[in-house]
């Protein structure tokens, strides 16, 4: 049902010409200050390809929403440029940018029916009645709300409102859609359902999407690339798996997924590895990712699922091996979380699949744990 | 629940569930009623009773039937073709004699004088000499005052002998009963009320429109300015509330009168000549200006409370969808403020219909409202029946207006704060 | 002493009547009664002030009573009726117009008064019924002053050689241009319109009782309607005249007098066709015992003459006229400023209370309709 819409979109893309797919949207050295004292966005650079799904992820106040608002035209950059399809758009008012946007609370016009809401962007483009009706019906079909055109937004559930908002942002066939925490108001199940829905539509239409969220799971599930924001600066811009597997600094490591931290000092570097003496005295071999030279402090980051309970002979796979004491065992059905005391860290988490053969642990029990040095990343302090 | 409907549910001690529930609910209902009963009592005494009293007064007509009871009884069966006979005049003489002794003919003579000018002196002159009147009464009474020889006088007495009358309502809409009992318009030179009603309504509508025109941008500013500035603006909006109505009104007199501040400034600036000062007060303009100012907060506050609840994201959404600013205002923002406009509109309109101090002070002759006439009939002419009838009509109009409003907008949609 | 037998049973009153000129006797009489508070309703402004000085202050000094002035005479009839219906009459003595007094009396709101019994004789022994001017003693009413409705003008608004002098000049826009301010009621205006149109002052009410006469009066008023500012409060016309907002203004003569002598305003009164009427006291039903001593005092010859020192209203007693002297503040001779001064009185019209009692409602409605046209 969406083939024709998709086709039209591609036609549109071919008509305008001079940009290449690689620099569909560009932020160049963008800075933003509201009060002239403090920068909320500090030198933001980002290139987005046509058809990409990019998520701006970060805690609240990190500047991600401000970037989105500058893209939409509701905020003006204090410095720097934003290019859309190669053209600077700093001085273009929002209604001339042709960017679709989904707002946090959907911003559906409460006094209009669903169909009227969807018709609004077509009406302001002076589209014919018949054409408008055709596109509205198609957009409703796309979000599977064919029979809801006559309802008022208040008569819909949260998930349905969300779909209408999405349909409204897409109905006038923008090439770029911005989403500002669109799923924040939904409960968990609905949120997951909508994530797939958005993903599906994105794949179907090939539209470029910039998505803002503070929910890392959401970001990991949906995005082609994720820009992790903190304190007005992009900490890392990478694909989800890279972010998770290879965080470049302590903030990203902490923010994305669960993480065991050990603190210490670099004592020796060996190729891409380094020896780190922990504050508790033990020495750990780790992969030097962002650690400084000998004598600098570092944070070791270790994913809980990469730690194993070891016994008997030394195993080459685990070139780090330490005694541990079980503090707490939490049963989570498909897996078990075990809180350990390792190397002076009482909050050390061990995640083990609930598979056959795993001995059950009891609090107070002494065991040995081990991990591969390639899984243990020495990051900035 | 699989229980069959024929078997009533019971609580643990065997009392049917319904009875038990009703008992529990009744207890809390009684408690709630007792808690609000002081308020209900207050409302009854301070609000409902005066209205009932007003409605009653507008039709109450006891004067003729009680004070001329003998005359009325003797007039029964009179054909109205020729003067009544001696027994009627004798009864009248007896009624007047009794009334003169009890000194209570005043209300009767006022009542009859409303319908027929001259009846006051007819009755008072006759009553003064009633002690010396000898039979035959027909001749002697007509000799004292020939009004008694007019058929219309007797028709009037016969007509007004009912304990209730519509003549106050007729007078309130410039109608009267002809001697033959038909409803006719009063002569043109006595018509005042209907035109005053219309003037009251259209001027109130103009005032409502002006408060909307001025109040809408202010309410919008209040919602969009930073908190520090909007607080200051809100104080400015509320400031008039904290000033006496009379002060505000007389301030306008000082500003607008022909030797007033505004004219002086205009003359000093050379905008107008000294001889051609603007007449801005003691006319319609004065009433409209002063009342627009006084009622402005009643428009701004409901508008503000509605605008406050409209998230800025609606307008952003409209812009992102490609609407130009004015179109977005017309299609998105304005429709969302309609409950506020309606609330402010009905509030200002009803308040201005009922205003009378300000029109009395700055309205001159042409800027006067029907309410000023109610005051006149209450305080000066003492025709309280007519005052009650005019006020009842006004009340009726307000109720109709409110019901139309409720049908169109829905009172439940109105937010006042 | 006209009727000794009547007063035989009331020694205190008899004593008072005998010693009416001597204030000390009043003091004796009031020893008998406890000190009390009297709520007296009057018109406010300069008028209440003159009553305060001439009646209230000497009375309070003698008796220790307290007198509270309420400026409610403008709506006295409505107030009396409302208080009576509510069963809580708080007013003890009310200053009102004889037309209102007639209505109040007919409704039983106020006490009938036996004037010869209640009031003081003149110093020469003339009983009150002969000493008060015509119409001053109604069934429930006793007048204290004669006042006049006149038209005044600001002399600076006209050249010295062309000053207005008659009521016809008020209706002459050609020779005497400028705004006029008139009372927003038919009373006085209809009378003046007829006189200006050539009706003799004494025939005014006969003409007004006919439909043609009313039409004639309104037609005459039509000729100046566009130039009229209508006033409702007695303080307005002197103010409008002083501001030169108007050239002519109808007013109560006392207000104009006060503006002339106290504020040195360049006003002059056209005494031609002055409409004079009386004003005085009524006693709300049930209050007679409480106020009869005060009423006796406040209406005696000397008190009425004293009041004329403060305001240019004529005393309602013949015996007081001879005692009228000079203005208390400025020392000017009061006589020429009195409505009753013979040169002023030549073309005077006495307001016909009965006519207005009958026709006020209808003519007011007609007047309002005319104004609204």
List, for residues C124-181, the tens digit of each pLDDT value. 999 999 999 888 998 999 999 999 999 999 999 999 999 999 999 999 999 999 999 9
Over the Cα atoms of chain A, what is R_g?
25
What band does A21 get if pLDDT is binned at 50, 70 and 90? low
Are the beta carbons of B121 and C358 separated by less than 8 Å?
A: yes
Model confidence at A250: pLDDT above 80:
yes
Q: Which residue of B has its CA nearest to C361?
A: B381
- Size of chain A, expressed as the number of residues it contains: 381
> Are residues A7 and A87 both part of a single domain?
yes
Q: Report pLDDT digits (tens) over C73-97.
A: 888 988 999 999 889 999 999 999 9
Are A223 and A266 found together in one domain? no
The minimum CA-CA distance between A209 and chain B, rounded to whole Å, is 15
Please tell me if the domain spanning C4-140+283-321 has the same topology as the one spanning C147-277+343-372.
yes
Contact A381, A261 (CB under 8 A): no
> A93 and A185 share a domain?
yes
Domain boundary among A245, A276, A298: A245
Q: What is the pLDDT of residue C21?
A: 39
Spell out which residues of chain B touch residue C358, defining contact as CB-CB under 8 Å: 113, 117-121
pLDDT band at C27 (very low <50, low <70, confident <90, very high): very low
Residue B206 to residue B216: CA distance in whole angstroms? 15
Looking at the complex, does the CB of residue A110 fall below 8 Å from at least one CB of chain B?
yes
Whether the ipTM is more than 0.85: the answer is no
Chain B closest-CA separation from residue C152 CA (Å): 21
Mutation choice for A interface testing from B311, B313, B322 by most A CBs within 10 A:
B322
Helix (H, G, I), strand (E, B) or coil at C192: helix
Is the Cβ pair C106, B383 closer than 8 Å?
A: no
Is A269 in the same domain as A359? Answer: yes
DSSP A248: S
pLDDT at C56 exceeding the cut of 90: yes
What does the pLDDT read at residue B10? 75
A235 shares its domain with A262: no
**pLDDT (0 to 100) of residue A86:** 87
- What are chain B's domains? 62-162 (no CATH), 193-413 (1.10.3720.10)
B379 close to C (CB below 8 A): yes
A20 within domain boundaries:
yes
Interval C166-212: pLDDT, tens: 999 999 999 999 999 999 899 999 999 999 999 999 999 999 999 99
Which portions of chain B are predicted below pLDDT 70?
A: 1-8, 411-417
Q: What is the pLDDT of residue A113?
A: 94
Which candidate in A111, A119, A136 is best for mutational testing of the B interface (most B CBs within 10 A)?
A111
Structural domain spans, chain C: 4-140+283-321, 147-277+343-372
Burial of B48 (0-12, 13-18, 19+ CB in 10 A): exposed
Q: Of the candidates B311, B313, B319, which has its C-beta nearest A94's C-beta? A: B319
Average pLDDT, chain B: 88
Within an 8 Å CB–CB cutoff, is residue A109 touching chain B? yes
CATH fold of the domain at C147-277+343-372: D-Maltodextrin-Binding Protein; domain 2 (3.40.190)
pLDDT for residue C17: 39
* A82 plus A178 within the same structural domain: yes
Is there a single domain that holds both residue A95 and residue A7?
yes
pLDDT for A85 beyond 60? yes
Q: Which of A245, A275, A294 is the last residue of a domain?
A: A245
- Look at B109 and C77 and tell me if their CB atoms are within 8 Å: no
Cβ of B317 and A107 within 8 Å? yes
- Judged by 3 or more CB pairs under 8 A, whether A touches C is no
User: Within 10 Å of residue B257's Cβ, how many Cβ atoms?
Assistant: 22
Does residue A169 fall inside a structural domain?
Answer: no
Q: Which residues contact A314 (CB under 8 A, 6 or more apart)?
A: A321
Within this chain, do residues A228 and A340 fall inside the same structural domain, yes or no?
Answer: no
Mark yes or no for CB contact B104/C230 under 8 Å.
no
Q: Is the pLDDT of residue C70 over 90?
A: yes
Q: Which residue from B44, B53, B91 is spatially nearest to B72, judged by alpha carbons?
A: B91
User: Is A45 among the domain residues?
Assistant: yes
Q: What is the CATH number of the domain that holds A347?
A: 2.40.50.100
Q: Please give the full DSSP string across B106-173, using - where no structure is assigned.
A: HHHHHHHHHHSTTHHHHHHHHHHTGGG--S-HHHHHHHH-GGGG-HHHHHHHHHTTSSB-SHHHHHHT
Range of weakest confidence among A11-25, A266-280, C225-239, C260-274: A11-25
- Cis ω for the linkage preceding B136 (within 30 of 0): yes
CATH of C4-140+283-321, one of 3.10.20.600, 3.40.1160.10, 3.40.190.10, 1.10.275.10: 3.40.190.10
> Residue C132's pLDDT is what?
92
Chains C and B touch (3+ CB pairs under 8 A): yes
| Average pLDDT over every residue of A214-234 | 90
pLDDT of amino acid B5: 53
Interval A346-368: pLDDT, tens: 889 988 888 776 667 888 888 88
- pLDDT at residue B243 in the model: 86
| CA atoms B228, B234, B239, B242: torsion sign | negative
B206–chain C Cβ distance below 8 A for any pair: no
| Selection from C62, B323, C322 nearest residue A93 by Cα | B323
Whether residue A339 is contained in a domain is answered as yes
Q: Do B120 and C230 touch (CB under 8 A)?
A: no
- Domain end, chosen from A245, A279, A302, is at A245
Residues A222 and A350 in one domain: no
Q: How confident is the model at residue A17 (pLDDT cuts 50, 70, 90)?
A: very low
- Provide the number of structural domains found in chain A: 2
Judged by a CB distance cut-off of 8 A, whether residue C105 touches chain B is yes
The Cα of C96 is separated from the nearest Cα of chain B by a number of Å equal to 13
DSSP letter for A14, please. H
Residue A193, domain extent = 3-99+174-245
- Report the 10 Å Cβ neighbour count for C10: 12
* Closest CA–CA distance from residue A159 to any residue of chain B (Å): 19
- The pair of structure tokens assigned to B213 is 């025109």
In chain A, whose CA is at the least distance from the CA of B338?
A111
Same-domain pairing of A270 and A366 = yes
One domain, residues A288 and A358: yes
């Amino acid at each position: 049902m969406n083939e024709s819409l998709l086709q039209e979109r591609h036609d549109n893309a071919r008509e305008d010409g001079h940009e290449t797919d690689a620099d569909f949207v560009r932020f160049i050295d963008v800075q933003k200050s509201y009060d002239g004292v403090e920068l909320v966005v500090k030198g933001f650079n980002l290139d987005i390809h046509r058809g990409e799904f990019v998520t701006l992820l970060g805690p609240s106040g990190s500047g991600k929403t401000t970037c989105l608002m500058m893209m939409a035209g509701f905020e003006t950059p204090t410095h720097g440029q934003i290019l859309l399809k190669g053209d600077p758009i700093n001085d273009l008012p929002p209604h001339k940018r042709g960017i679709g946007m989904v707002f946090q609370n959907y911003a559906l016009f409460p006094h209009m029916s669903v169909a009227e809401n969807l018709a609004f962007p077509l009406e302001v483009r002076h589209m014919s009645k018949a054409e408008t009706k055709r596109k509205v019906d198609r957009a409703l079909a796309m979000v599977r709300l064919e029979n809801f055109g006559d309802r008022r937004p208040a008569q819909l559930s949260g998930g349905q409102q969300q779909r209408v908002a999405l349909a409204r942002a897409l109905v006038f066939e923008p090439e770029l859609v911005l989403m500002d925490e669109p799923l924040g108001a939904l409960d968990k199940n609905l949120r997951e359902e909508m994530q797939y829905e958005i993903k599906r539509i994105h794949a179907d239409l090939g539209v470029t999407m910039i998505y803002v969220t503070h929910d890392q799971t959401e970001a990991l599930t949906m995005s082609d690339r994720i820009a992790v924001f903190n304190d007005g600066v992009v900490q890392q811009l990478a694909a989800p798996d890279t972010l998770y597997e290879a965080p470049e600094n302590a903030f990203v490591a902490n923010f994305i997924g669960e993480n065991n931290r050990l603190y210490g000092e670099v004592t020796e570097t060996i190729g891409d590895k380094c020896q780190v003496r922990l504050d508790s005295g033990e020495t750990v071999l780790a992969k030097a990712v962002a650690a400084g030279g000998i004598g600098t402090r570092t944070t070791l980051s270790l994913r809980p699922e990469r730690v194993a309970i070891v016994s008997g002979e030394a195993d080459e796979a685990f070139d780090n091996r330490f005694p541990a004491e079980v503090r707490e065992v939490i049963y989570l059905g498909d897996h078990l979380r075990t809180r350990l005391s390792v190397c002076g860290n009482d909050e050390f988490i061990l995640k083990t699949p609930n598979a056959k053969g795993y001995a059950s642990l009891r609090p107070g029990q002494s065991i040995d744990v081990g991990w591969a040095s390639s899984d243990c990343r020495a990051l900035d302090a | 629940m699989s229980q069959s409907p024929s078997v009533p549910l019971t609580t643990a001690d065997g009392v049917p569930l319904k009875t038990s529930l009703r008992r529990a609910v009744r207890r809390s209902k009684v408690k709630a009623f007792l808690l609000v009963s002081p308020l209900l009592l207050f409302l009854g005494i301070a609000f409902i009773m005066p209205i009932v009293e007003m409605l009653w007064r507008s039709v109450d007509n006891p004067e003729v039937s009680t004070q001329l009871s003998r005359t009325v009884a003797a007039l029964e069966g009179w054909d109205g073709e020729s003067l009544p006979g001696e027994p009627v005049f004798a009864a009248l003489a007896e009624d007047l004699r009794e009334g003169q002794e009890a000194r209570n003919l005043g209300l009767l003579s006022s009542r009859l004088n409303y319908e027929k000018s001259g009846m006051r002196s007819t009755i008072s002159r006759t009553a003064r000499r009633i002690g010396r009147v000898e039979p035959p009464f027909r001749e002697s009474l007509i000799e004292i005052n020939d009004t008694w020889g007019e058929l219309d006088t007797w028709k009037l007495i016969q007509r007004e002998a009912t304990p209730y009358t519509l003549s106050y309502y007729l007078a309130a809409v410039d109608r009267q009963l002809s001697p033959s009992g038909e409803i006719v318009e009063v002569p043109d030179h006595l018509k005042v009320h209907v035109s005053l009603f219309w003037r009251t309504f259209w001027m109130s509508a103009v005032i409502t429109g002006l408060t909307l025109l001025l109040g809408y941008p202010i309410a919008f500013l209040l919602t969009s300015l930073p908190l520090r500035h909007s607080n200051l603006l809100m104080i400015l909006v509320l400031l008039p509330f904290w000033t006496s109505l009379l002060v505000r009104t007389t301030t306008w007199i000082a500003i607008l009168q022909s030797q007033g501040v505004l004219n002086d400034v205009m003359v000093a600036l050379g905008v107008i000549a000294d001889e051609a000062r603007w007449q801005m007060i003691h006319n319609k303009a004065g009433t409209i200006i002063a009342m627009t100012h006084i009622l402005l907060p009643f428009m701004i506050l409901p508008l503000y409370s509605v605008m406050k609840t409209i998230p800025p994201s609606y307008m952003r959404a409209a812009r992102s969808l490609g609407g130009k600013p004015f179109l977005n205002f017309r299609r998105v923002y304005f429709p969302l403020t309609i409950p506020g406009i309606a609330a402010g509109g009905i509030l200002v309109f009803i308040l201005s219909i009922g205003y009378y101090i300000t029109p009395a002070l700055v309205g001159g002759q042409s800027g006067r409202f029907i309410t000023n006439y109610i005051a006149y009939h209450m305080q000066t002419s003492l025709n309280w029946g007519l005052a009650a009838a005019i006020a009842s009509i006004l009340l009726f109009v307000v109720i109709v207006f409110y019901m139309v409003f409720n049908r169109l907008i829905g009172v439940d949609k109105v937010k006042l704060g | 002493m006209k009727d000794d037998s009547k007063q035989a049973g009331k020694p205190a009153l008899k004593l008072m009547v005998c010693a009416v000129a001597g204030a000390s006797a009043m003091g004796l009489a009031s020893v008998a009664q406890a000190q009390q508070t009297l709520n007296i309703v009057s018109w406010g402004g300069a008028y209440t002030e003159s009553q305060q000085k001439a009646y209230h202050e000497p009375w309070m000094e003698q008796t220790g009573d307290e007198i509270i002035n309420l400026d409610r005479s403008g709506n006295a009839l409505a107030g009396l009726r409302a208080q009576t219906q509510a069963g809580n009459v708080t007013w003890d003595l009310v200053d009102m117009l004889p037309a209102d007094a007639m209505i109040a009396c007919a409704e039983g709101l106020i006490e009938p008064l036996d004037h010869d019994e209640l009031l003081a004789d003149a110093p020469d022994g003339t009983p009150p019924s002969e000493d008060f001017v015509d119409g001053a003693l109604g069934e429930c009413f006793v007048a204290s002053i004669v006042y006049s409705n006149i038209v005044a003008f600001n002399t600076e608004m006209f050249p010295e050689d062309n000053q207005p002098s008659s009521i016809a000049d008020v209706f002459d826009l050609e020779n005497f241009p400028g705004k006029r301010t008139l009372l927003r009621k038919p009373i006085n205006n209809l009378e003046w319109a007829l006189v200006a149109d050539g009706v003799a002052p004494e025939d005014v009410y006969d003409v007004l009782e006919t439909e043609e006469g009313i039409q004639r009066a309104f037609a005459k008023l039509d000729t100046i309607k566009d130039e009229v500012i209508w006033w409702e409060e007695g303080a307005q016309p002197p103010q409008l005249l002083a501001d030169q907002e108007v050239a002519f203004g109808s007013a109560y003569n006392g207000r104009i007098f006060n503006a002339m002598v106290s504020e040195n305003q360049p006003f002059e009164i056209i005494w031609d066709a002055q409409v004079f009427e009386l004003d005085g006291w009524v006693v709300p039903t049930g209050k007679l015992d409480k106020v009869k001593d005060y009423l006796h005092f406040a209406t005696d010859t000397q008190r009425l003459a004293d009041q004329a020192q403060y305001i240019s209203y004529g005393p309602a007693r013949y015996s007081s006229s001879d005692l009228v002297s000079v203005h208390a503040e400025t020392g000017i001779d009061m006589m020429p400023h009195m409505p009753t001064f013979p040169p002023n009185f030549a073309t005077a019209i006495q307001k016909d209370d009965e006519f207005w009692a009958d026709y006020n409602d209808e003519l007011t409605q007609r007047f309002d309709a005319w104004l609204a046209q």
